[in-house]
Amino acid sequence: MGCNSGERMYYSENGEIIRKTKFDDFGNVLEDIEFDKKGRITKEIKAIKINFKPELDEASKLNFEFETTLHSEKQYKYSRKLKQMYVSEEGLLLDDERNGKWLFYKSNDELKKEKIYK
């Protein structure tokens, strides 16, 4: 197992959970959830696909060269008017960069705009 496998919790100085990350055996992020001070989810990233090919390095040790990782991301905001969280934007991350069509929403779930990233 890699040094970053399993689940890792991050806490504020007050002891409140601010982030929860799950890793696979190779240290790739499978899920990453961020929380606000009230424990509400503000950001959620989930792995969709992780491609890699093993290669031998000079010292004949197994070295994993990762080709691509694809994650879905949702960001949440709090609506004071509705008194609840809502999805403010969602889309895909390719190697940690926004990719493809991203959707941005108003607090009433109405589509505000679309943006294409490459």
pLDDT tens for 33-57 read 999 999 999 999 999 988 766 555 5
pLDDT at 98: 97
Least confident of 4-8, 87-91, 101-105: 4-8
| pLDDT at residue 81 is higher than 80 | yes
Region class of 26: left (phi > 0), else alpha (psi between -120 and 50), else beta:
alpha
Mean pLDDT of the chain: 88
pLDDT at position 31 is 97
pLDDT score recorded for residue 26:
83
Supply the DSSP symbol for 109: S
- pLDDT band (50, 70, 90) for residue 60: very low
Q: Residue 46: what pLDDT?
A: 97
d(CA 12, CA 30): 22
Number of other residues whose CB lies within 10 A of the CB of residue 15:
6
